[in-house]
Structure 1
Amino acid sequence: MMPARYQGYAFVAITMCIWGGFTISSRLSALWHISPWDITALRFLLAFCILMPILIYKKDTAFLWKKEPFILAMLGGVAYCLTCYSAFHYVPAAHAAIFLNGCLPLCTAIAAFVLFKQPFDKHIWASLAIMLCSILAMSYLMYQATGVAFSLGDGLFFISAIWWGIFTVLLKQWKLSAWHAMAGVAIWSAIVYVPLYLLFFPKHLNEPTIQHLAIQTMFHGIFVVIVATLTYVEAIKRLGAFKAGSIVTLAPFIAAIIAVPLLGEPLSLAIVCGLIGMGIGALQPWRWLRKDSLEKQLTAQKKQSI
Structure 2
Amino acid sequence: MAATHPALSTAAPAAPAAPVLLGIAAALVTVSIWALWIVGMRAASVGGLPLGWLGLMRFGLPALILLPAWGRFGPLPKSVPKTTLALMVLGSGAPFFLIVAAGTGYAPAAEVGVLLPGTMPLFVALFAALFFGERLSADRLGGFVLIFLAMALIGGGAVAAGAGYGRLLLPLGAALWAVYTLALRRSGLPPLAAAGIVAFWSALLLLPLAAYEGVGPILAAAPGLLLAQFVSQTLLSGLLGLVAYGHAVRRLGATRAAAFSALAPALAALFAVPLIGEWPSALAVIGIGAAVVGVGLASGALGRRGTALPKRGAAA
TM-score (normalizing by structure 2): 0.70
Matched-pair contact (CA < 8 Å) for 1:94–1:253: no
Aligned to 2:57: 42
Aligned to 1:298: none
| Aligned: 1:84 with 2:132 | no
**Structure-to-structure mapping, 1:261-300, within 5 angstroms:** 261-265=274-278, 267-268=280-281, 280-284=293-297, 287-290=300-303, 292=305
- 2:43 maps to which of 28, 44, 62: 28
**Unmatched tracts of structure 1, length 5 or more:** 294-306
| Aligned: 1:253 with 2:269 | no
Aligned to 1:182: 195
1:212 to 1:137, Cα distance in 2 relative to 1, 3 A: closer
- Counterpart of 1:99, as a letter, is L
SS of alignment partner, residue 214 of structure 1: helix
1:284 to 1:79, Cα distance in 2 relative to 1, 3 A: farther
- 1:116 maps to which of 132, 145, 166: 132
Aligned residues: 287
Matched-pair contact (CA < 8 Å) for 2:181–2:258: no
TM-score (normalizing by structure 1): 0.72
- Counterpart of 1:221, as a letter, is T
1:151 to 1:55, Cα distance in 2 relative to 1, 3 A: same
- Cα offsets for 1:77-117 (capped at 9, x unmatched): 12221122233333222213322222111111122234334
CA distance in 1, matches of 2:87, 2:21: 35
Aligned to 1:297: none
1:134 to 1:82, Cα distance in 2 relative to 1, 3 A: same
- 2:235 maps to which of 222, 235, 246: 222
CA distance in 1, matches of 2:164, 2:215: 24
Aligned to 2:173: 160
Matched-pair contact (CA < 8 Å) for 2:52–2:206: no
Aligned to 1:300: none
- Cα offsets for 1:29-49 (capped at 9, x unmatched): 234332444422331122233
Aligned to 2:112: 96
Aligned to 1:70: 86
Q: CA RMSD in A?
A: 4.0
Farther-moved stretch of structure 1 (32-41 vs 120-129): 120-129
Matched-pair contact (CA < 8 Å) for 1:97–1:275: no
Aligned to 2:5: none
Matched-pair contact (CA < 8 Å) for 1:103–1:278: no
Percent of aligned pairs with the same residue? 23
1:88 to 1:227, Cα distance in 2 relative to 1, 3 A: same
Matched-pair contact (CA < 8 Å) for 1:69–1:181: no
- Counterpart of 1:178, as a letter, is P
SS of alignment partner, residue 40 of structure 2: helix
- Counterpart of 2:60, as a letter, is L
CA distance in 2, matches of 1:227, 1:139: 27
1:55 to 1:231, Cα distance in 2 relative to 1, 3 A: closer
Matched-pair contact (CA < 8 Å) for 1:100–1:158: yes
Q: CA deviation at 1:225?
A: 2.0
**Unmatched tracts of structure 2, length 5 or more:** 1-17, 307-316
SS of alignment partner, residue 107 of structure 2: coil
CA distance in 2, matches of 1:64, 1:127: 36
Q: CA deviation at 1:161?
A: 0.7
Matched-pair contact (CA < 8 Å) for 2:137–2:305: no
Matched-pair contact (CA < 8 Å) for 2:58–2:234: yes
Matched-pair contact (CA < 8 Å) for 1:12–1:231: yes
Higher helix share: 1
- Cα offsets for 1:18-60 (capped at 9, x unmatched): 333222322332343324444223311222332346644xx43
